[in-house]
């Protein structure tokens, strides 16, 4: 194999599994270390740089980082990355003086954003400090998008939401609430230098089955949650069926439990491993007495004398055929109920974008948007968040917002959009002395801390009682030590190695091998323990001077304990802290 090019920032970046998996590439291990040191404000601000809404995300993030976390492969459970983020947010001081500020001298450029969800807010956050004027048009009377109208207050307190949204608005956003954009043509004529569309995927999917319109007790999930948020709905019937088992379904069933629903069932077509909702969401719902029913496909609303009395389902059996999951109907049942909430997904809808103004739509009636630049076919118009490629989540909306802001800045400066500021890195030795490193390199065998929930009886009293209480100081202290510091890289200097085997012998998880070079497939099988996880890279050195063999490291399970570097007599291995310098709008 060719020697690994570790000076390309993406190699070490990939080793930091969580940061690599995070759409916004949050520097997780660094903020966890800051929390460990009690530097909550610093941890908060570091988070904010990349993910903009640490307090919100510390409660609600979809956390793609956690399934990726190396700790999962070591002891079965990831570091509680997300809830540690909340610790930083909860315990921070007033950080307002440290926030970026918009200059009083503007740069003369005006940007319009459609919708005030996390995507548009991120664009505003990145562009205001550069002197842009940002106008946000929002259809509703409150800013925040689905974060406010759909994520229930028992998961996300409104104060947390307000605080973080206001950090951005207070920089001087020209926010126009209750002002839907009804025509893109019109917007294009308003003389903006660029337009960002962050209007989300606002349409809940309907289910056109017999009986659908014979009762008014059939609700569309996201509309119903929005109505609950605005206080238009305060009660629900006793027996409720939720159709679908995604994130929306989870919020619907738990909200229904708080509004009078006693017998709440989530009806799923498939079996548990295929559910869209995360395991922790399912757990939380079941804890609240929601029943999750597998293998039931809805076929008919049962309406008797104008009253909804139940719903008919086909009971499915799943089997595999030609590598694909197929189903057959084995039974039909009627499940009695008084109300049904449809939570089977969201659609985009752009009725306000004329189709003759140069914005091309594809066969699914979605705008054609460039994955890198976020620009559509009409120069100067950018999309992001759920509006770009369909429903995702907050952290993706933020990531899109950052990229769109870079593009908008380039666009306004006349720089080609594809000429993006590069990622850079710094790599600094953490060696402090003979056996001293500037990070906590000892492996902690602690188990993942379990979030404490408010008592069931108490939490149903009001809709906005936050269920999760946050980590106790003891839980935080233990959880931070579970992080393996994957950003502290094992960095190898081949000419120094005398091939004494010390590092190989000491490595607790058998990452290292000295062997003759060969093609990757062969090399992987020849290691001290074969490297079967193909998602994880091999680090291969240049040939060593005594025998011409190569040092190979399987990154998969490395604990970043630094024992290899401590054992190395020549400092061929060193533990170096990798810091990814992520470019934002305005960076060179």
Ligand X SMILES: Cc1cc2nc3c(=O)[nH]c(=O)nc-3n(C[C@H](O)[C@H](O)[C@H](O)COP(=O)(O)OP(=O)(O)OC[C@H]3O[C@@H](n4cnc5c(N)ncnc54)[C@H](O)[C@@H]3O)c2cc1C
Binding site for ligand X (CB under 6 A): 60-62, 114-120, 137-140, 145-147, 150-151, 180-181, 198-200, 202, 222, 225, 247-248, 251, 352, 385-387, 391-395, 397
Between residues 452 and 525, which has the closer beta carbon with respect to other proteins? 525
Helix (H) or strand (E) holding 333: strand 324-336
Buried b (16+ CB within 10 A) or exposed e, 268-305: bbbeeeebbbbeebbebbeebebebbbbbbbebbbbee
Residue 547: which of other proteins, ligand X, ligand SF4, none does it interact with, CB under 5 to 8 A by kind?
Answer: other proteins
Give the sheet arrangement for strand 424-429, strand by strand: 424-429, 573-581, 488-492
Site string for other proteins, 60-89 (x = CB under 8 A): -------------xxx--------------
Least Å from the CB of residue 202 to ligand X: 5
Between residues 112 and 507, which has the closer beta carbon with respect to other proteins? 507
According to CB under 6 A, which one of 252, 511, 538, 582 is a site residue for ligand SF4?
511
Residue 527 within binding range of ligand SF4, rule CB under 6 A? no
Q: How far apart are CA 126 and CA 132, in angstroms?
A: 9
Closest CA to 528 of 546, 544, 512, 551: 512
Residue 499 within binding range of ligand SF4, rule CB under 6 A? yes
Residue 441 within binding range of other proteins, rule CB under 8 A? yes
Residue 495 within binding range of other proteins, rule CB under 8 A? no
Residue 445: which of other proteins, ligand X, ligand SF4, none does it interact with, CB under 5 to 8 A by kind?
Answer: other proteins
Site for other proteins in 542-581 (CB under 8 A): 546-547, 557, 559, 561-563, 566-570
Least Å from the CB of residue 34 to ligand SF4: 22
Between residues 147 and 568, which has the closer beta carbon with respect to other proteins? 568
Least Å from the CB of residue 273 to other proteins: 21
Least Å from the CB of residue 108 to ligand X: 25
Q: How far apart are CA 331 and CA 309, in angstroms?
A: 20
Residue 558: which of ligand SF4, ligand X, other proteins, none does it interact with, CB under 5 to 8 A by kind?
Answer: ligand SF4
Between residues 187 and 540, which has the closer beta carbon with respect to ligand X? 187
Helix and strand totals (H; E) in the chain: 22, 23
Q: What is the DSSP letter of 525?
A: H
Q: Which residue is nearest to ligand X (CB)?
A: 385
Between residues 328 and 532, which has the closer beta carbon with respect to other proteins? 532
Least Å from the CB of residue 73 to ligand SF4: 12
Between residues 171 and 496, which has the closer beta carbon with respect to ligand SF4? 496
Residue 564: which of ligand SF4, other proteins, ligand X, none does it interact with, CB under 5 to 8 A by kind?
Answer: ligand SF4
Closest CA to 509 of 431, 577, 571, 561: 561
* Beta bridge partners of residue 552, listed in sequence order: 513, 540
According to CB under 6 A, which one of 182, 570, 581, 587 is a site residue for ligand SF4?
570
CB 107 within 8 A of CB 132: yes
Phi-psi region of 219 (alpha: psi -120 to 50; beta: other; left: phi over 0): beta
Residue 74 within binding range of ligand SF4, rule CB under 6 A? no
Find the part of the chain contacting ligand SF4 (CB under 6 A) among 30-38, 289-297, 300-308, 570-578. Answer: 570-578
Total number of residues that touch other proteins (CB under 8 A):
34
The percent of the chain in helix, strand and coil, each rounded to the nearest 5, is 30, 20, 45
Closest CA to 82 of 31, 119, 133: 31
Residue 562 within binding range of ligand SF4, rule CB under 6 A? yes
DSSP SS3 for 412: helix
Q: Residue 543's CB: how many other CB atoms inside 10 A? A: 14
Between residues 132 and 137, which has the closer beta carbon with respect to ligand X? 137
Residue 480 within binding range of ligand SF4, rule CB under 6 A? no
Least Å from the CB of residue 154 to ligand SF4: 41
Between residues 118 and 310, which has the closer beta carbon with respect to ligand X? 118
Query: DSSP per residue over 30-80, as a string?
Result: HHHHHHHTT-HHHHHHHHHHHHS-HHHHHHH---THHHH-HHHHHHSS---
According to CB under 6 A, which one of 1, 233, 293, 509 is a site residue for ligand SF4?
509
Query: DSSP per residue over 425-446, as a string?
Result: EEEEE-EEETTEESS--SPP-P
Q: How far apart are CA 45 and CA 98, in angstroms?
A: 8
Site for other proteins in 524-543 (CB under 8 A): 529-530, 532
CA dihedral sign of residues 41, 43, 46, 52: negative
As a dihedral over the C-alpha atoms of residue 134, residue 139, residue 140, residue 143, rounded to 10 degrees, the angle is -20
CA dihedral sign of residues 180, 186, 190, 192: positive
Residue 512: which of ligand X, ligand SF4, other proteins, none does it interact with, CB under 5 to 8 A by kind?
Answer: ligand SF4
Alpha-helix residue ranges (DSSP H) falling in 113-212: 118-127, 146-149, 158-169, 184-188
Closest CA to 288 of 504, 465, 124: 465
Residue 16 within binding range of ligand SF4, rule CB under 6 A? no
Least Å from the CB of residue 13 to other proteins: 24
Q: How far apart are CA 305 and CA 22, in angstroms?
A: 52
According to CB under 8 A, which one of 131, 500, 517, 543 is a site residue for other proteins?
500
Residue 507 within binding range of ligand SF4, rule CB under 6 A? yes
Q: What's the start-to-end Cα distance of the chain, in Å?
A: 34
Give the binding site for ligand SF4 (CB under 6 A).
490, 497-503, 506-509, 511-512, 558-564, 567-570, 572-573
Give the binding site for other proteins (CB under 8 A).
73-75, 435, 441-443, 445, 498-502, 504-506, 508-510, 529-530, 532, 546-547, 557, 559, 561-563, 566-570
């Amino acid at each position: 194999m060719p020697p690994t090019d570790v000076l390309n920032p993406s190699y070490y970046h990939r080793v930091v599994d969580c940061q690599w998996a995070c759409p916004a590439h949050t520097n997780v291990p660094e903020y966890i270390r800051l929390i460990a040191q009690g530097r909550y404000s610093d941890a908060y601000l570091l988070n904010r740089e990349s993910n903009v809404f640490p307090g919100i995300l510390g409660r609600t993030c979809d956390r793609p980082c956690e399934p990726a976390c190396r700790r999962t492969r070591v002891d079965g459970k990831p570091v509680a990355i997300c809830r540690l983020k909340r610790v930083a947010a909860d315990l921070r001081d007033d950080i307002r003086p440290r926030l970026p500020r918009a200059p009083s001298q503007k740069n003369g450029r005006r940007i319009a954003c459609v919708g005030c969800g996390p995507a548009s807010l991120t664009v505003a956050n990145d562009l205001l400090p550069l002197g842009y004027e940002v106008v946000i048009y929002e259809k509703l009377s409150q800013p925040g998008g689905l974060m406010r109208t759909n994520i229930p207050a028992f998961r996300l307190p409104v104060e947390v939401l307000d605080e973080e949204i206001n950090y951005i608005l207070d920089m001087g956003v020209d926010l126009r609430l209750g002002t839907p954009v009804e025509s893109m043509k019109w917007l294009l004529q308003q003389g903006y230098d660029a337009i960002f569309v962050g209007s989300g995927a606002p349409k809940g999917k309907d289910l056109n089955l017999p009986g659908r319109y014979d009762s008014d007790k059939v609700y569309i999930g996201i509309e119903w949650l929005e109505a609950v948020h605005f206080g238009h709905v305060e009660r629900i019937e006793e027996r409720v069926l939720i159709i679908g088992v995604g994130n929306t379904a989870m919020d619907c069933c738990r909200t229904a439990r708080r509004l009078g629903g006693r017998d709440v069932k989530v009806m799923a077509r498939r079996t548990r491993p295929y559910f869209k909702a995360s395991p922790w969401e399912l757990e939380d719902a079941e804890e609240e007495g929601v029943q999750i029913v597998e293998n039931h496909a809805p076929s008919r609303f049962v309406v008797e004398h104008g009253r909804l009395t139940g719903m008919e389902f086909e009971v499915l059996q799943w089997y595999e055929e030609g590598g694909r999951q197929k189903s057959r109907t084995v039974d039909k049942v009627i499940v009695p109920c008084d109300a049904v909430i449809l939570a089977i997904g969201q659609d985009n809808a752009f009725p306000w974008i004329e189709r003759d103004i140069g914005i091309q739509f594809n066969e699914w009636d979605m705008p054609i948007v460039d994955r890198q630049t976020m620009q559509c076919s009409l120069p100067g118009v950018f999309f992001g968040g759920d509006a770009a490629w369909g429903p995702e989540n907050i952290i993706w909306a933020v990531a899109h917002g950052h990229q769109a802001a870079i593009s908008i800045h380039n666009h306004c400066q006349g720089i080609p959009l594809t000429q993006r500021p590069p990622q850079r890195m710094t790599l600094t030795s953490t060696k402090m002395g003979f056996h001293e490193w500037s990070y906590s390199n000892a492996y902690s065998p602690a188990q993942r801390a379990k979030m404490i929930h408010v008592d069931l009886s108490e939490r149903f009293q009001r809709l906005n009682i936050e269920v999760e209480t946050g980590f106790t100081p003891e839980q935080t202290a233990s959880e931070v030590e579970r992080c393996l510091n994957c950003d502290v890289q094992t960095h190898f200097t081949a000419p120094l190695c005398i091939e004494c085997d010390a590092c190989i012998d000491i490595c607790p998880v058998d990452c290292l091998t000295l062997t003759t070079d060969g093609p990757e497939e062969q090399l992987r099988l020849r290691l001290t323990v074969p490297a079967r996880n193909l998602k994880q890279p091999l680090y291969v050195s240049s040939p060593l001077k005594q025998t011409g063999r190569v040092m190979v490291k399987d990154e998969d399970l490395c604990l970043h304990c630094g024992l290899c570097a401590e054992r190395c007599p020549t400092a061929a291995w060193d533990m170096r802290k990798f810091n990814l310098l992520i470019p934002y709008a305005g960076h060179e």
